[in-house]
Chains A and B, each alone.
Chain A
């Protein structure tokens, strides 16, 4: 039986201590990385480290490593569905993003564009919003 051996193997306090140490070290690394500019790699490293920490917690603290195959499938399914949620949403919003930032687009009523983000420091936002409204009205 698949679950028969599950009860035999259990992690020891020494292993839990090791996982604790690894989680704290990874937290330190992610803070250090955040203070340095690696461009797009900053996001990839931050999420990669969070992913590694999650795998450690799920496998050892949550005993999935010692669980049945069905438990493993359940755990993976959760993150798989999450990735579907995020990737399908982004495949929509990212491909329409430029539309929201273009100025001379004829928007249907109730679809006024949101103001684009300000790159220059200190740019007043009220003016920014009005600008878009005027652009929309002029059509």
Chain B
């Protein structure tokens, strides 16, 4: 440490790690590294979206039937909650960039709270599916007048795989947010150092984007179906 300080004696920036030339280069490397991870995440969820597309093309009527009985009010509410949480997260990054400690903590807590609201609604939806025996592979039952039970079960396999993987990302996000809030409380983040907030923001917005596609693909495709 003392050697390093010695080498770059004249203009050493305490917030720039020694492998970087300057702060701008460090900032770019940080967000670029996160984007490399997110590109991998896009393709990770992409496999599920591809499978969904293939099977929806095979069984369009059963997918519409399965979608029809999802609760659009809860799904729509959760969409708004997640978009709002993306806004509070963007504002948290803005607060960190401007060294506003109080509003940084406030926006991080708001983001965490909205994340828990989303997960709480998801618990309500999952337990309702459990009560109606709409869990694929566990005595799946289908008594609606439309759709083929075997194929609706495929729709629900995708529903649970996709929303479950999304919810797991939300849980991981919440688990990272809590230590970030504690560190923010201790005053670790300010205009010279906010990389963890910025990078976590990228992750949180990505999870929001996944839901932006899940909502229409799962909840909305059966809305104009006419059920007798």
Contact = CB atoms under 8 A, between A and B. Distances in A.
Nearest to A100: B58
Interface in B175-228: 198, 201-202, 205-206, 208-209, 212-213, 215-217, 220-221, 223-224, 228
Given A1-B24, A89-B54, A125 B149 contact: yes
A3 interface: yes
A74 B216 contact: no
B220 A31 contact: yes
Contacts, number: 175
Interface of B: 23-25, 27-28, 31-32, 35-36, 38-39, 42-43, 46-47, 49-50, 53-54, 57-62, 72, 76, 79-80, 83-84, 86-87, 89-91, 94, 97, 145-151, 198, 201-202, 205-206, 208-209, 212-213, 215-217, 220-221, 223-224, 228
B147 A118 contact: yes
Contact of B94 (A10, A54, A121): A10
Q: Is the interface of A mostly helix, strand, loop or mixed?
A: helix
B213 to A, nearest CB: 5
Interface string A119-134: 1011101001100000
Interface string A23-57: 11001001100111100001100110110011001
Given A1-B24, A61-B86, A71 B80 contact: no
Contacts of A57: 86, 205, 208-209, 212
Given A115-B150, A125-B148, A50 B212 contact: yes
